[in-house]
Amino acid sequence: MMKIVLLGKGKTGSKVMDYSDNVTAFDSSHPARPEDLASCDVIISFLPGPAFESYLPMLIDSGKPVVTGTTACDWPEDIDDQLKNMEVSWIRASNFSLGMNVVRPIIQQFRQLKELYPEGQFSIHEIHHTHKKDAPSGTALSWEEWLNAPVEISSERTGDVVGIHQIRFTSEEEEIELVHKARDRGIFAKGALWAAEMVTGGELPAGLHEFTDCVAEYLNKKQ
């Protein structure tokens, strides 16, 4: 069984402990030290951006595989080269929902609508709980990247919403909408644990990998 060090015991991080029995968790009141990382197999982080950035030097020095769902983070420009030199693999994600990553090619096809209706407009709206600090969400920014077309993004913070993302194309003749609703934070924990299996499995090349690419490659092998 994998030995996991968990950084961040918030609403999502705590779910990791629900699905794995071999987790040592750390948070702001009990921060991890280099010696705490030495004996683990993988590190999973759900820390906010600034906290994760403060951990980055220690994580790199540990030489351990890392799976991180941290968004709003300033990554070192040479992080991929550093990891390759250390022969270690990391996976990062703006959203660890496996279903969300199956949606990616659908969103990429959405941009074809602009060829049929040049006057049409794209919009993305995302809704999260009131404690989420970054806006727009990392997932909304990923959708913008996947769409690769001009799009207006709006954000809403209300209640304890896990996450709702909606992309819409509107023209004079048609309106087309795609919605993804996260019903339980457990989907993010399960996705992170799936990524942890990938990053420790020995088949992933050294370097920094996007979760969406890992899922796509996995699905392509299954076809």
66 contacts 42 by C-beta, under 8 angstroms: yes
| Prediction pTM value | 0.86
Q: Would you call 187 exposed, middle or buried from its count of C-beta atoms within 10 A (0-12, 13-18, 19+)?
A: buried
216 φ, ψ (degrees, to nearest 5): -60, -45
Residue 223 has pLDDT above 80, yes or no: no
- Percent of the chain past pLDDT 70, that is, above it, reads 100
Residue pLDDT, tens place only, 135-151: 999 899 999 999 999 99
Among candidate residues 11, 84, 129, 132, the one labeled active-site is: 132
The superfamily (CATH) of domain 99-182 is Dihydrodipicolinate Reductase; domain 2 (3.30.360.10)
132 given a catalytic annotation? yes
The superfamily (CATH) of domain 4-96+186-222 is NAD(P)-binding Rossmann-like Domain (3.40.50.720)
- Beta-strand relationship, 163-170 and 66-68: unpaired
Among candidate residues 15, 128, 180, 209, the one labeled active-site is: 128
Residue pLDDT, tens place only, 93-130: 988 999 888 898 999 999 999 999 999 999 999 999 99
Task: Tell me the domain boundaries of the chain.
Answer: 4-96+186-222, 99-182
DSSP string, 119-164: T-EEEEEEEE-TT---SS-HHHHHHHHHHTS-EEEEEEE-TT--EE
Per the listing, tokens 């918030």 go with 10
Q: Would 4-96+186-222 and 99-182 be classified into the same CATH topology? A: no
**At 184, is the secondary structure helix, strand, or coil?**
coil
Residue pLDDT, tens place only, 52-101: 999 999 999 999 999 999 887 889 999 999 999 999 999 999 889 998 88
